[in-house]
Structure 1
């Protein structure tokens, strides 16, 4: 008989049992994309993955949450301020552009733009472009009126800015070019080519042109707009996304990979305003040497209690794709990306081998000693297995929404279904072993017991299959559920955002402790479970 998840609870907190141990400090921002200084002198930061906008004091590093994730925004990517202090936001996935008044009221500017990204103002005029192949560049009218097309054929537009000559400068990310166009439209003019993955075009207060690259090295290129001559600086900040200059002409940059804000000074000097953190994390694993890895969508990190975060690799480096989840099999990591691919990835050599593709959206991942990898495919309602020959088989199908998977020492597979609130064991037919749970996601077997994260209740539940006993092991975990992108924009076309659905992963360390992807604060946490059956606090 299945056991109801609320039947039996462990003793209340205050019993002296251990708290979770953070392996890295919580992220100050939970992602950092478009940035712009507001009229109040604070640096406003759009956070694409978590649907937030925050304001940062660039001198103290204090962060204020301005727009929470339960507001009207889903995937804010770039922001700009009008002359009257109105904030304009490009909301990528739903294909909307918003305005937020100085008193915090939101109004929709337009939903007629596909994957809007780069956004900028010229006085009281507003302009936005599309981050897609064949994208368009528009002038928008916040007080009403249809968008006016300035040009089309953009090869993935992004952050743009008006130059001292009154023309609008914008990047073509996929062709490594920067172009410019008059604000009334016309034929675009090439400014420079050969800039690696240009993600943002910015002018400082002296009118100097800088182009940011979203490469692994953090390249910034200084461009002479008249001659096209260039000189480059390597900042060492991977995944640059945007830049802003304050009233003193100090340059600040954001990293979408690391969720950091950095001041770039003269002669290569840097100052950390907000240190690197994790955007999710979305997956966690530990290898036989005890090294813990976190799959963080834009990159792969190693975390430890002593060293904090070490960036192993980033998108634009040698990663085979945007990492969704990861499990260690010896010295190799089995990595799944958001496009439904499985790769065997060597984090030391930075090389990978594709094992399977086209598996759909994936969430949980597990592996056994034979080399078999098991995957949860929630939108397909399937649990898949990839054997040592890379052959894919279906272990179960017709499930509602399987997200977490784990294997016990007998090779039996357990699956969590976060919509039905169940944990199933995959025998010849799926068997319900736990029911009545609150959004169960990450699951793991340690010893002879099964552990599952109930995201809705922010707790870890412990289950003994032999006795059917279920207890609450930890409460008040730093986990949350955030909506993912729907996959389509307001006009029904693919949104191109790549934002993953929320998933809280759980893994087992070498000593039997548990590793939690604490996506509510951007950390990996170590949960030590005592012999009495709980580590609750």
Structure 2
């Protein structure tokens, strides 16, 4: 099994389980700002990955240019100067960087709030802010001085200089396109009632092209002289940015599911395939349909075909549980929702939890690991929240056939059972245990620190290694300390390798190191874990 997202992972192996992917690995861990570089390759900023890749637009070959272990943490847009320097809007730490042609990084500014849209005009550098009340500024690279050109932006994003010399940019919150002179003066509204604008670009004919971030992938073309509009629906949900090649073909990036797609009035062509950002939580309903929490979307698919498709509910999706025709979702931003696939309706259950992660269905409601608050809570059918246990950092929960509650804690390095408000250790000494599930009377645990799947006896704590070299977590040598989740600036999702049991006796693992869901089916008749004796590690 070949990893295409990060180097450093081995080949997953198991003597007890056969493993297969339900979807293809994702070469790009999201795709945001894109632009052609001096070498005519397409450079892609990947906010979620913390890296920048270069893509051959003809072959789709991807090469990581700015790796995830460098100084840039969350690149959202990028531009090239006349000398070949790369300028990067590092959105979450709120920094702007220059990367010289020889690869040296220089921090230019920490004074621009939520920097996103970035563009070069000759030797001049301009940045806008993706926040309510944001600004368009000129940043002087040699001194770090910030010159404000416009303010009051309703969330700016990808911008570009137009044929008239002005800088054009979207107001994402109000559906408008505005412009301002690089030399100052009043900002002017250019277009109103544009469908969910996220990026403003000009093709080589001088036409104004506005991308929508919506589900239907609308592209609006505006004649700059007459204001006449035309639109196409590309079907590319969650577009983020665009670049035009030498032949005036438009290539678009996708914040919702990554990848790069060529789009025009006749259709689309895949340059780099879309895929999963995580996945994080994973679940299967009674019919075997798979659901994966994937931050910007809830991905769903058929267990047989393994087709993981586009968004169906919510945002910041993390943990997932499915049953009785409903799908329950935790959000990194603190809410728990219930989605009905039949009606496509979403019901808000609870808000303002502290970083809820794992979720499970239990008698009379839902069990949730409220990671940020250090507790496990029960949500009943009337949406009342009751704390049932305190732990340092719980990340997942599970319920067995007798109704017993279990939780994993990655900082404690343990899996515990919750009994009447008390916490009983089932097994400790683990290295970042995350996803847990119950299968044929045993607990199964994803030990992210060792990239193993363990089976644990709930009565004795005896453990057995079920699979090794799993593509979960970050690859060797890369460490990241992400800040707590916020909306402004946007935060990356906390890594979470979910695990679940399917109705037909398989396991599903969220292989977030490569962007797949792994299905594990029994390869041999395995003996049950002993009810007594020493642990096997």
Do the structures match in fold with TM over 0.5? Answer: yes
Q: Secondary structure of 1:174's partner?
A: coil
Which deviations, in whole Å up to 9, do the C-alpha atoms of 1:325-347 show, x marking residues without a partner?
A: 21102211112222211112112
CA separation in 2, counterparts of 1:486 and 1:121? Answer: 30
Partner of 1:289: 287
Quote the offset at 1:67 in angstroms. Answer: 1.7
Task: Name the residue aligned to 2:384.
Answer: 391
Which residue in the other structure is 2:470 paired with? 477
Paired residues of 1:287 and 1:328 also in contact (CA < 8 A): yes
Counterpart of 1:186 in structure 2 is: 185
Superposed CA offset, 1:295-315 (max 9, x none): 11111212356644342525x
Equivalent in the alignment of 2:166: 167
Superposed, 1:4-15 pairs within 5 Å as: none
> How big is the alpha-carbon RMSD for the aligned residues of Structure 1 and Structure 2?
2.0
SS of residue paired to 2:388: strand
Distance 1:15 1:113 in 2: 49
- Secondary structure of the residue aligned to 1:365 is strand
State the distance in 2 between where 1:148 and 1:467 align. 66
Alignment check: 8 A CA contact 1:216 1:237 kept: yes
Name the residue aligned to 2:483: 486
Residue 272 of structure 1 is matched in structure 2 by 270
> Corresponding residue for 2:427?
434
The C-alpha deviation readout for 1:199-249, integer Å capped at 9, x for no partner, is 000011221110001000000000123343321111000001000011221
Deviation per residue, 1:431-483 (Å, 9 max, x gap): 11111111111111112100111111111111112343211111000111474
Match of 2:404 in 1: 412
Deviation of residue 510 (structure 1)?
0.9
What's the counterpart of residue 6 of structure 1?
none
Matches within 5 A, 1:60-79: 60-79=59-78
| Conserved? CA contact 1:301–1:309, under 8 Å | no
Q: How does 1:31-42 map to 2 (within 5 A)?
A: 31-42=30-41
Using the size of structure 2 for normalisation, the TM-score is: 0.92
Q: Which segments of 5 or more consecutive residues in structure 1 lack a partner in the other structure?
A: 1-12
User: Which residue of structure 2 aligns with residue 211 of structure 1?
Assistant: 210
**CA deviations over 1:36-59 (Å, ceiling 9, x no partner):** 111111111111112121111111
Determine the C-alpha separation between the residues in 1 that align with 2:157 and 2:503: 44
| In structure 1, distance between residues paired with 2:84 and 2:473 | 32
Q: Does 1:452 align with 2:445?
A: yes
Equivalent pair of 1:157/1:170 in contact (CA under 8 Å): yes
Counterpart residue number, 1:348 = 342
Q: Deviations over 1:408-427 (max 9, x none)?
A: 11211111111121111112
Change (3 A) 1:358 1:166: same
Contact 1:484 1:500 (C-alpha < 8 Å) held by counterparts = no
* CA distance in 1: counterparts of 2:283 and 2:505, whole angstroms: 13
**1:363 matched to 2:357:** yes
The change in CA–CA distance for 1:153 and 1:533 in structure 2 (over 3 A counts) is: farther
Which residue of structure 2 aligns with residue 508 of structure 1? 501
Of 400, 424, 443, the residue aligned with 2:392 is 400
CA distance in 1, matches of 2:112, 2:140: 13
Give the paired residue count: 512
Using the TM superposition, give the Cα deviation of residue 511 of structure 1 relative to its aligned residue in structure 2, in angstroms: 2.2
Matches of 1:269 and 1:418 in 2, distance apart?
A: 46
> Residue 379 of structure 1: SS of its match in structure 2?
helix
Residues 64 and 255 of structure 1: CA distance in aligned 2, closer, same or farther (over 3 Å): same
Equivalent residue, structure 2, for 1:53: 52
Structure 2: how far apart are the matches of 1:228 and 1:323? 39
Per the TM alignment, residue 367 of structure 1 is displaced from its structure 2 partner at its CA by 0.7
Rounded to whole Å, the distance in 2 between the matches of 1:425 and 1:54 is 44
In 1, Cα distance between equivalents of 2:144 and 2:456: 59
Find the counterpart in structure 2 of residue 335 from structure 1. Answer: 329
1:526 aligns with 2:519: yes
Query: Does 2:104 align with 1:105?
Result: yes
Output one character per residue of 1:248-305: Cα deviation in whole Å (capped at 9) or x when no partner. Answer: 211101111121211123x322211112211111211001011011111111212356
The answer as to whether partners of 1:47 and 1:53 remain within 8 angstroms in 2 is yes
**Structure 2 unaligned blocks of 5 or more:** 1-11, 529-537
Give the Å deviation of 1:33. 0.9
Aligned residue number for residue 323 of structure 1: 317
Question: Which is further off, 329-338 or 161-170?
Answer: 329-338
Deviation at 1:361, TM superposition (A): 0.8
Query: How far apart are residue 488 of structure 1 and its match?
Result: 8.1
Structure 1 position 533, deviation (Å) = 5.3
